[in-house]
Structure 1
């Protein structure tokens, strides 16, 4: 199935080489080979089956853009955490506030004479603090 492999390599010629690209190419090749075997099984010859599988694959530009690759840039696509650092900061602030509020409620409901909620609060505050510095680093890298 060299024809399929060379066709997929040709389709991905302008995408950056990364682990995600290699995995996507291998998945497409495996799917095409499986389709070829299915077409051969129902009576098509190998060359016709390969051509039909390639034609049915169609244009993968939509797939590449959906995965997040930029065709002309030589950079790897950003992951979810790299794409939305400000959203991650907001989520960590709200999440920390809710967790701390839960600790305060549990503290005052079950043991109002002992104030212990302060200790886990310091631990929980590391989450938004780390996200804040990550956001600042990403903001500085973009400028």
Structure 2
């Protein structure tokens, strides 16, 4: 082992004396020792074991490439993430993705509640309640659900904002062990992510089947078909948000596809993206309600054009208001 340690010291003799290089050196020593002991247990002589270890770990350029280290950049001064920070970030990302998914689902289900109450009224299940009162109850349910959803967006957005530095380049670095651990967890999550992606998209595409089925059985039950459609869409979107967010958390830690953005731009994109999701969801809800309940198909498509204008107006206004921050 002394030969291996001396060889490792010579390998790093010309390298910068930084925390990053020391961490890399320590990680390599651990792996070289493990490999050496494994070879010795397999019956190799000491010289044979040393030769194999040096042959496997002795190319400095390959090691630097494998660890993603570029000595010409400023990353040597980046701080290392602690294991506790990584676990906390993954835990918070997973937890917030659940609540954000529920929030988006509530925006859609709020419309489902409105349509459901209207369906009960139209089919004579709420004859003791005046039509106007039933409509007011439906609107109240819609507003309450959307208000709860907005609260969830704000609260969880503030919780994840603590980790803005993880979403930008050149803010941190990981040890070899940490990278391997995160990569392993990412690969283990990949099948669930792909399955959720397929199921979520399939549910959204197939959701109109419920509506068409109720139309075929009895047109009076159209309202309940719309309710089923909206619930299925809500479930599909929740699956997409939850599993995609968890996958993005692993990618952010591994710096896969992380753009070189300032924290200000990250925050802006997150806020404008959330507003766009809410506006498009509400536009879809209004489109379905006005079409199936009030038969306004000839004109209700304008809601999407109006939604696009509102999103553009908000993005422009937000950019102007935060320009000098």
TM normalised by structure 1 equals 0.56
Structure 1 segments unaligned to the other structure (5+ residues): 106-124, 134-143
**Aligned: 1:95 with 2:96:** no
Deviation at 1:33, TM superposition (A): 1.1
Gaps of 5+ in 2: 80-167, 172-258, 281-317
CA 1:14 to 1:7, structure 2 compared with 1: closer, same or farther past 3 Å? same
Equivalent position of 2:5 in the other structure: 5
* 2-structure distance, mates of 1:27, 1:35: 13
* 1:87 to partner: Cα distance: 6.0
Tell me the distance in 2 between the aligned counterparts of 1:7 and 1:35.
Answer: 15
Question: Contact 1:40–1:49 at 8 Å: present in 2 too?
Answer: yes
Deviation of the 1:16 alpha carbon: 1.9
State the secondary structure of the residue aligned to 2:15: coil
Alpha-carbon offset, residue 95 of structure 1: 0.6
Cα shift readout 1:6-36 (whole Å, capped 9, x = no counterpart): 2122222232222222221111111111111
In the alignment, the residues of structure 1 paired with residue 31 and residue 7 of structure 2 have an alpha-carbon distance, to the nearest angstrom, of 13
Equivalent position of 1:47 in the other structure: 47
Name whichever structure is richer in helix by fraction.
Answer: 2
Task: Verify the 8 A CA contact 1:4 1:50 in the aligned structure 2.
Answer: yes
* Residue of structure 1 in register with 2:27 after alignment: 27
User: How does 1:1-143 map onto structure 2 within 5 Å?
Assistant: 1-66=1-66, 67-70=68-71, 76=76, 81-82=169-170, 85-86=260-261, 89-100=264-275
C-alpha distance in structure 2 between counterparts of 1:86 and 1:33, whole Å: 40
CA distance in 2, matches of 1:82, 1:75: 6
Contact 1:69 1:77 in 2 (8 A): no
- Largest Rg, 1 or 2: 2
For 1:85 and 1:49, locate their aligned partners in 2 and report how far apart those are by CA, in whole Å.
44
**Shift in alpha-carbon separation, 1:81–1:56, aligned structure 2, 3 A:** closer
Give how far 1:61 is off: 0.7
Q: Deviation string for 1:78-136 (max 9, x for gaps)?
A: 5753376436554332112123556889xxxxxxxxxxxxxxxxxxx9xxx7xx97xxx
Q: How many residues align?
A: 113
Q: SS of the counterpart of 2:261?
A: helix
